Amino acid sequence: MTSLHIRLATPADVGTIAPLFDAYRQFYGQAPDLAAARRFIAERLERGESSILLAFHGAGEAVGFCQLYPSFCSVEAAPIYTLYDLFVSPAARKAGAGRALLRAAREHARAQGKVRMDLTTAHTNTTAQALYESLGWVQDTVFRAYSQRVN
């Protein structure tokens, strides 16, 4: 892959992000639904509810994205980001896009005054875990995560 360019997405980028977001959801077992992906991304960007970083290779093709949701840590009494989505298209993997997106996310978080970023990933996603750990992410061994459906 040629050089990478990372930039913050705007609402005008919904059409670029939606196919990548749909592929990300499929990676996690969801049925393809480009319309839902487009709608979800459009709502997040239009409402300012997330920050999305886009990775482009030198020819201008979008090859990946990272989505950050603002939150707070009550214990630290400080703002944080939850890095919920990170995806690189299969054809572009192993070329540094994921690493570049994570570094850009860190810089964006720092610039936005966040004190920390948190993420979760599937227990089986060992490739991503190795990348995170190589960039200084630390696995939480103190807290156990739970979730509950409310509908």
Would the pLDDT of 125 be above 70? yes
Would the pLDDT of 143 be above 50? yes
- 69 touches 40 (CB < 8 A): no
Phi first, then psi, for residue 18 (nearest 5°) are -50, -45
At position 13, the amino acid (one-letter code) is D
Domains with residue ranges and CATH for the chain = 4-134 (3.40.630.30)
In the chain, what is the straight-line distance between the N-terminal and C-terminal CA atoms, in Å? 44
pTM score of the predicted model: 0.93
Q: Could you read off the pLDDT of 19-73 as tens digits, one per residue?
A: 999 999 999 999 999 999 999 999 999 999 999 999 999 878 999 999 999 999 9
- Give the Cα separation of 128 and 87 in Å (integer): 10
Would the pLDDT of 139 be above 90? yes
- Compare 143 and 54 and report the one with higher pLDDT: 54
| DSSP 3-state of 99 | helix
Q: Which residues pair with 64 in a beta bridge?
A: 55, 88
